[in-house]
Structure 1
Amino acid sequence: MFKKTLLATAILASLTVHAAQARTFQVGMGDPMDSDQGALAQRFAELVEQYSDGEMTVDLFPGGQLGPETGMIQDTRIGSLDMAFIGVGNLTPYAPKLGALTMPYSLRSHADAVKATTGPLAQRWNDIAKEEAGVKIISWLYSNFRYLTNSDRPVRNLEDLQGLKVRVPQNEMMLATYEAWGANPISMSWPEVFTALQQGVVDGQDNPYIVNYTMKFHEVQDYLTEVHHQYSLQPLVMGVRTYDALSEEERRIIDRAGIDAQLYALQFQLTGAVTAREGMEAEGVEVSTLEDEDEWIRIAQEEVWPAFYDKIGGQEAFEEFQSILGY
């Protein structure tokens, strides 16, 4: 009996030491758990724990619990937060060359988005993020195109868009784009959007299907138009100083889990967008496609692109990026 007691005590002590040595990473999220951010985050957490045999765990903080994206990126850069989901547009103030991914119509299909974030191009953006913003891109979240919604009228062409008050993020490029198309863009932080739509401060906004549906915009928006001007990419980033402080094995596990979760999230997005569209239509939202999208593209290329070449690394670099995508 005494030997059995000693054995049990030893096992318990071993488990206690193992638990104490387990490394826990905190991940900040702006969106709720029932979103595509949540899908990638949960899968990433599962894979990290699996690949590390439980020696590494991930705690998720959804719904802006750790603050807005602008604050979370600062926290990851200085190392007070391990990881966070940050929209590419919110990374560009720190790494302007990433703005190539947000230029209107720089990505025009799901295939473009995947090609731009895998292989040599993925390495290009990661090098820029590390050198300029001090963060490493662990995984890319594909959130689909930012489709335009509004409560005023169906938008099927540029004429329908004229004068429409559209909320846009605090992003100079998106403001310039909607202005070039003849809309009245209004910059507004994310927490204010639903109330602004509800009260008629703005007529509309743009976001991917899943975001539109999970945020219940169908309750205050009657129309949706599939505009393919910007593919919403939300990388999961880790501060370079945090990443470099990990052991080689820990870095390998984080990298592997990030890539595998990225593939999982892409499939989730493609199927989830269909479900979200069906849900919005069932709630009475009228979905339209553009009759003249070539004209939207022409205006973007001729009026918006030239104004931002210098801010994203130059015209030559951007044209090289476009040629790789086949444009």
Structure 2
Amino acid sequence: MRAWKLIGVAAALLLLAACAPAASPAGVEVLRYASPYSPNHPFSRADIAWIKHVERVSGGRLQVQPFWGGALISSDQSVIELRHGVADIALITPIYMRSGMHVMKTQAGFYGGVTTIEDQVAVYRCMEKAFPIFGEEMTGVHVLAIQGGNLPNVLTRDKPVRGLADLRGLRLRAPSELTPVLQSLGVDVVTMPMGEVYSAISKGVVDGVVAPADAVKSLHFNEVARHLSLLQVARGAYPARAMSDTRWNALSPDLRRILTDAIPVWEAALALEVRKAETEGMAMAKAEGMSIVAVDPAEQARFDAAYDAEALKNARRLAKYGAPGEAIYRRARTVIAQGTPVKAC
């Protein structure tokens, strides 16, 4: 028994040593970057492009040491973990935090009618600029990239979704901001990290997932889902890459400027990779024989109306947290109505 305890202690020490920051050469800042995804995931490919960029522009004064596959960071506590220094920089998902982040989670449902990633990011920045609570919810971290994404569809294991009536009775994993609208249509909504969805569909724990077609390839959903419904679900942007304030403040002003100037580089890389993944995911769905299910425009319009109605209700519920939810919602709708959110702010 004593030998096994010694082995366990030795293993723990080796793990801690592996995750500890490497000794930095003189004049070089080594930054630990943490992601829950593998290095081959589309998000990670964008991260790698950013890493190469900042290392090159800094002339080697910034070096980024990546930790992939959730070695340092989780999906549902990422902001808290980053605040406490488990990594220097991380992929964060504030909209999936188990508690708090009320505005961050709710605002992700205010983007009805937005179809491009650039416009998603622009609408977010307009709301952030107008309402200090966006920054308050991200206290403790310095945001380095806002991320939008492809519009989600509905992937199901057994039952194809051709209209809203087909949603009734399904148990679907969906982002938390979509829970009210899907529940109003008879869906049993489950929220869980995306990394757990493959197993949940395979075991029949859920009937499917609300996700973009890129997940067919990146998360291998073609192996567990047979139908891809082209119902389009609006989605929003959110802070997705950040650095702990402690580490940020420890950097010299010129290195902070390099990271600030690299924000659009990271956001452009993310947009490029998720678009490429969407194309690849749709191609794989067809090649693997998944049924691609069209949705009647009238049914899409019904869904869009339900989405906007629920978004307003959710916005008003933010008042119990002292947040100006309806004002934030109205700001988003005004910007979107102008038709060119990228230029609106």
1:199 is the counterpart of 2:217 = no
Deviation at 1:304, TM superposition (A): 4.8
The percentage of aligned residue pairs carrying the same residue is 20
Matched, 1:46 2:52: yes
- C-alpha contact (below 8 Å) 1:105/1:300 kept by paired residues: no
Residue equivalent to 1:270: 275
Aligned to 1:221: 225
Q: Which residue of 1 aligns with 2:327?
A: 316
Separation of aligned partners in 2, 1:233 and 1:290: 28
2:235 counterpart of 1:230: yes
Structure 1: runs of 5 or more not aligned: 1-16
**1:293 aligns to what?**
300
For the pair 1:90 / 2:59, whether they are aligned, the reply is no
Partner of 2:342: none
Aligned to 1:176: 180
Per the TM alignment, residue 302 of structure 1 is displaced from its structure 2 partner at its CA by 2.5
AA matched with 1:313: P
SS at match of 1:24: strand
1:115 to 2:122 alignment: yes
* 2:329 is equivalent to residue 325 of structure 1: no
- CA displacement 1:163-184 (0-9 Å, x = unmatched): 1111235x3x332222112112
Deviating above 6 A after TM superposition, structure 1's stretches of 4 or more consecutive aligned residues are none
CA contact (8 A) 2:155 2:225 kept: yes
So what's the TM-score if we normalise by structure 1? 0.84
- The reply to whether residue 243 of structure 1 matches residue 248 of structure 2 is yes
SS in structure 1 of the partner of residue 180 of structure 2: helix
What's the RMSD between the two structures over aligned residues? 2.6
Please give the alpha-carbon distance, in whole angstroms, between the structure 1 residues aligned to 2:111 and 2:127: 17
For residues 239 and 211 of structure 2, the distance between their equivalents in structure 1, rounded to whole angstroms, comes to 12
State the shift of 1:97 in Å. Answer: 2.3
Q: Which amino acid aligns with 2:336?
A: L
For residues 316 and 303 of structure 1, the distance between their equivalents in structure 2, rounded to whole angstroms, comes to: 15
1: CA distance, partners of 2:93 / 2:78:
11
* Structure 1 residues 288 and 108, CA gap change in structure 2 (3 angstroms): farther
List per-residue Cα deviations over 1:141-187 (Å, max 9, x = no partner).
33312221001222121011111111235x3x332222112112223
Query: Of 284, 289, 292, which residue of structure 2 is paired with 1:284?
Result: 289
Alignment partner, residue 7 of structure 2 = none
Is the 8 Å Cα contact of residues 72 and 81 (structure 1) preserved in structure 2?
no
Output the amino acid matched with 1:322. R
Alignment coverage as a number of residue pairs: 307
Counterpart residue identity of residue 321, structure 1: A
For each residue in 1:62-121, what CA deviation from the matched residue of structure 2 results, as whole angstroms up to 9, or x when unmatched?
Answer: 221214123332121133421111234125944322235411654631153142245x45
1:187 aligns with 2:191: yes
In 2, are the aligned partners of 1:84 and 1:236 still within 8 Å (CA)? yes
Letter in 1 for 2:307: A
Equivalent in 297, 300, 305 of residue 312 of structure 2? 305
Q: Quick check: 1:68 aligned with 2:71?
A: no
For residues 192-233 of structure 1, what are the alpha-carbon distances to aligned partners after superposition, in whole Å with 9 as ceiling and x for unaligned?
A: 321221111211012222233111110110111232232465
Structure 2 letter corresponding to 1:223: H
Structure 2 stretches of 5 or more lacking a match?
1-22, 339-345
- Which residue of structure 2 lines up, in the alignment, with residue 3 of structure 1? none
Secondary structure in structure 1 of the residue aligned to 2:160: coil
Q: 1:63 to 1:262 in 2, by over 3 A?
A: same
- Asked if 1:149 is matched to 2:151, the reply is no
Cα 1:145/1:155, change in 2 over 3 Å:
same
Could you tell me whether the CA contact under 8 Å between 1:224 and 1:286 is conserved in 2? yes
Secondary structure in 2 aligned to 1:316? helix
Q: How far off its partner does 1:129 sit?
A: 4.6
Q: 1:235 to 1:189 in 2, by over 3 A?
A: closer
Query: How far 1:325 sits from its partner (Å)?
Result: 1.5
Paired amino acid for 2:180: A
Contact 1:100 1:318 in 2 (8 A): no
For residues 297-317 of structure 1, what are the alpha-carbon distances to aligned partners after superposition, in whole Å with 9 as ceiling and x for unaligned? 222222453134332632122
Name the CA shift for 1:303/1:174 in 2 (closer, same or farther; >3 Å).
Answer: closer
Q: Report what 1:13 is aligned to.
A: none
2:67 corresponds to 1:56: no
